Structure 1
Amino acid sequence: MSENTTVERTARESALLESVPNQLFIAGKWVDSTSGRAIHVQDPATGAVIKTIADAAVEDGAAALDAAVAAQDSWAATAPRVRGEILRRAFDLLQERKNDFALLMTLEMGKPLAEALGEVAYGGEFLRWFSEEAVRISGRYGSNPEGTGTMVVTQRPVGPCFLITPWNFPLAMATRKIAPALAAGCTVVVKPAALTPLTTLFFVRLLEDAGLPAGVVNVITTSTSGAVSDPIIADPRLRKLSFTGSTPVGQALIRQSAEGVLRTSMELGGNAPFVVFEDADLDKAVDGAIIAKFRNIGQACTAANRFIVHESIAEEFARRVTERVNVFPIGRGTEDGVVIGPLINDKAVAKADELVQDALGRGATLLTGGNAIAGEGSFYQPTVISGVRPGSDILREEIFGPVLAITPFTDEDDAVRIANDTEYGLVSYVFTQDLARGHRMIDRLQTGMMGLNVGVVSNAAAPFGGVKQSGLGREGGLEGIQEYLSTKYTLIPNS
């Protein structure tokens, strides 16, 4: 990169960050926090503070919910076509501003710019998909079995929603929740992660430009999540909670939601098995492994966590993936060609290293990587380890880092046993050329989603979600809007 390019890019970054709001968005207005505190957002590639924004207090959360409640009736009464057209305008504006959104995500989260552009495309699809679903909310009409009356079944918006989004996909996790809520006629309060709040603030400005009425979407950024969220969840006017994050936090939120019998959607932790059978197309399996593991620097709930490879090909599979990993460019996500950017913070680096060292201490073999990278930023070497032994922490805990851990299996039953030996059940990946075996694995693996001979499954038109401790409900697809609708039955007598 030339010196002039570096200066130009730095100037662009500064201008973009300056254009991002630093206040809360409540009732259609940008307002200061009542706390007097601030959140300092850092670039994980350098550790430098890139922007200082408002840090909401309890009173700000209450004001945001007040605004959502006040706007609920009018938004629910807004014609579905109008709601859909606002979402469609938001989609169009996002395409126009895709480069700005991608750069902003790279700055605050660290992912390579090419991946950030991919997230803009993916996140935008939720706006487009649910703009179309807004006009397809349906019901039923017909005689009751006794012939004494007419049954009318309709679907209504559940009401004000509280949406809590994670740091790893700052745009897509926001659009995946906001779009179906708005399409269904619900107003929302959004609380983005304190580590990556800028993308959500930038996105709500886009929603303003798309013509969204005041109070329909409200955004509060806070470093005291529990203190601000608890009163919102306890408020009887709130009717829905959607959360993406860790299973322990999700469990706590479910317990809190029980008091008000809230509708909940929980997209929680994962421990995805990636099963490679002896008959797999190894080239495709390696390609799938690279994207399933190293997409978003491994910081995805859908990232393959346990590579379960038939013993007859485990050594060759390990050799091929190691060959690929050894040439990954590492650096700041804004640099051309970078594949591995920083992890979100030093804590994430320490966790990845702890899991690797535990596995090595139990007898696994290090093939490449295995260390934090010294210097500024929170970088960890892309790592491959093989021969991971039963009992290793890396087989039980979500890695959330660029570490590919291989364990061998003997036969199909052994593979299924290893794959299902977890409290999680979000997604699985299977590579085999035996169609009958593939169908058996669909039935036998205890996950809410599965990729058969493919390393990425996410799609706005498909239902995203898991079983067991990976969560409740689905996001995306035909099922996604149902999470924000309640069913009402009316009987009309014939006379």
Structure 2
Amino acid sequence: MDTESLLARVPVGQFIGGRFRPSRDTFAVRNPASGAVIARVGDGDQEDARAALDAACAAGPAWASTEPRHRAEILRRAFELILERGDDFAALMTLEMGKPLAESRGEVAYGAEFFRWFAEETCRVEGRWTTAPSGSNRLLTMKQPVGPVYAITPWNFPLAMGTRKLGPALAAGCTAVIKPAQLTPLTMLYLMATLRDAGVPDGVVNCITSTDSGAVSAPILTDPRLRKLTFTGSTEVGRALLRQAADGVLRTSMELGGNAPFLVLGDADVDAAVAGAMPAKFRNNGEACTAANRFYVHRDRVDEFTSKLVAAVEGLVVGDGMVETTTLGPLIDDAAVAKVTRLVDDAVAKGARVLTGGGAPERPGHFYRPTVLTDVPRDADVLREEIFGPVAPIVTVDGDEEAIALANDSEFGLMAYVYSRDIGRVVRAAERLESGMVAVNTGVVSNPAAPFGGVKASGLGREGSHEGLDEYLETKYLGISLE
């Protein structure tokens, strides 16, 4: 692919009111595989933020009153355009985030699907009509769009995290301002152009790019016209945003950090568990909130699981994601490499053994070798913190009770994985796991038709499925007297 031609076609201004407009300042977007600057993007300020919210508010009444079928047709067209431009979207994601091209293509399909799913849900927003218990009144409920939405997305899934928020917002009749992460803004800017081409009216979706998230968010979050905040990112930032949202009593959806346990019970199919562990841990370079973070493996299975996992990990090809043979790309930046290095060093200092990998290779870019640790002590930081990198720490357990107790010993509760041949055993374990999602005998569970979200410090609300649309709707009740 001619990446220079592609990058030249990607708009780099603030998308406000259906048009891209330049900013006074710009910032660099870098390829994590090389550190090279691939684009300069407008550095938005508070004036841009106010203008974006003004545009969203101005477009709100007309979009809310647009017939559902028409909104659905626009979303369906957006789905089709994303797939038509799939090679462009995939290359942009790999260039600015680093994941292998094959995985970027997978994200194109996954991300586009949110528009198709919510296109189909648009015409299925329902209320109800009932008779009051006294018989004197009729009770009517209706669903209406919550109002203007502010969406903040992370860098690790530059397309899907945006479509997962914009799909239900647009389906519900809401307008939006979206702010992508400064590390990966190009994919979202290209999506804005695609949505415009799909027929989304001016002002219905607006996009702000900035190096100062707090500054540009402040005038939006404090504006009484804003009615909904949706955020995907770290728990630390999510807590800060919740405090800000409290003043305006905003509806919030928070998809925050994870520390997913991966349980291999005593009767598990080891080959299946290893096959599932590879995408659960190493997909997206390990930089996913759903990534398997802690492997709790029954003593009867640990030797076989460990040896087969090491063999599979040693088969990964580390390199620039734009090379088709690459199966593990770079981490996002130097800070990410430093964090993974610190976690592995801490585990080794406390007694863990490195079976493969460990350390950063001598090459340009932000790489870390895919790593398997064993004999990991219970007090190692790698079991407490979200790794966000290609490291698999293995802990031996003696039974289901121990595995579940260790799995639940975390402030997080987003995703968990369980492997067992016994359906009763695995369901009982899944029911007791403190997690919003449980993958049973599979390493990938995300699906636009399923409710995505966590419990405890992993967040509030759900994205995807029918529940994802409800997050953007308010329920209005009418009490109707027939006297």
TM-score (structure 2 length as normaliser): 0.99
1:395 to 383, 397, 416: 383
Matching residue of 1:27: 17
Structure-2 residue corresponding to 1:458: 446
Work out which of the residue numbers 57, 80, 97 in structure 2 matches 1:69.
Answer: 57
Selected match of 1:442 from 421, 430, 436: 430
State the one-letter code of the partner of 2:7: L
CA-CA distance at 1:142 after TM superposition: 2.2
Counterpart code for 2:405? R
Q: Deviations over 1:278-331 (max 9, x none)?
A: 210111000001110000000000000000001122122111110111121111
Aligned residue for 1:60?
48
8 A Cα contact 2:68 2:123, kept in partner: yes
Q: Which residue of 2 aligns with 1:120?
A: 108
Matched residue type, 1:256: Q
**1:197-219: CA deviations, max 9, x gaps?**
00000001000110110000000
* Structure 1 match to 2:476: 488
User: Deviation string for 1:2-41 (max 9, x for gaps)?
Assistant: xxxxxxx4xx1000000000101101111112xx221100
- Aligned residues of 2:90 and 2:101 also touching (Cα < 8 A): yes
Alpha-carbon distance in 1 for matches of 2:448, 2:424: 28
Deviation track 1:419-442 (CA, whole Å, cap 9, x = no partner) reads: 000000001000001111111112
Letter paired with 1:28: G
Any conservation in 1 of the 2:266–2:399 contact (CA below 8 Å)? Answer: no
Equivalent of 2:4 in 14, 34, 50:
14
CA distance in 1, matches of 2:86, 2:22: 28
Q: How does 1:282-297 map to 2 (within 5 A)?
A: 282-297=270-285
Q: CA deviation at 1:94?
A: 1.0
What root-mean-square deviation, in Å, do the aligned CA atoms of Structure 1 and Structure 2 show? 0.7
Q: State how 1:313-392 maps to structure 2 within 5 Å.
A: 313-392=301-380
Look up the SS of the partner of 1:293 in the other structure.
helix
* Partner Cα distance (1:69, 1:441) in 2: 47
User: Which residue of 2 is the match for residue 151 of structure 1?
Assistant: 139
Work out the CA distance in 2 between the residues paired with 1:223 and 1:472.
26
- The reply on whether 1:412 has 2:430 as its aligned counterpart is no
1:222 partner SS? coil
Secondary structure of the corresponding residue to residue 266 of structure 1: strand
1:199 is the counterpart of 2:187: yes
Aligned partner of residue 290 in structure 2, secondary structure = coil
Secondary structure of 1:313's aligned partner: helix
Q: Structure 1 stretches of 5 or more lacking a match?
A: 1-8
Letter in 2 for 1:392: A
Q: What is the rounded CA distance, in whole Å, between the counterparts of 2:443 and 2:363 in structure 1?
A: 32
Secondary structure of 2:28 counterpart? strand
Alignment match, 2:257:
269
Q: Distance in 1 between matches of 2:374 and 2:408?
A: 20
Using the size of structure 1 for normalisation, the TM-score is: 0.97
- Partners of 2:271 and 2:304 in 1: CA distance: 11
Give the deviation of 1:145 after TM superposition.
1.4
Q: CA deviation digits over 1:172-208, x for unaligned, max 9? A: 0000000000000000000000000000000010001
SS of the counterpart of 1:384? Answer: strand
Residue type at the aligned position of 2:288: A
Which shifted more, 138-147 or 75-84? 138-147
1:420 & 1:247 partners in 2: Cα distance?
17
- The equivalent position to 1:260 in structure 2, one of 224, 232, 248, is 248
Amino acid of the structure 2 residue aligned with 1:346: D
Task: Tell me what 1:236 maps to.
Answer: 224
Q: CA deviation at 1:337?
A: 1.5
Q: Does 1:468 align with 2:456?
A: yes
How far did 1:111 drift? 0.4
Alpha-carbon distance between aligned partners in 2 of 1:482 and 1:31, rounded to the nearest angstrom: 33
Unmatched tracts of structure 2, length 5 or more:
none
Secondary structure of 2:477's counterpart equals: strand
Secondary structure in 2 aligned to 1:166? coil
Stretches (4+) displaced over 2 A: none
The aligned counterpart of 1:5 is none
| Segment drifting more, 453-462 vs 140-149 | 140-149
Tell me, in whole angstroms, the C-alpha distance in 1 between the residues paired with 2:361 and 2:207: 36
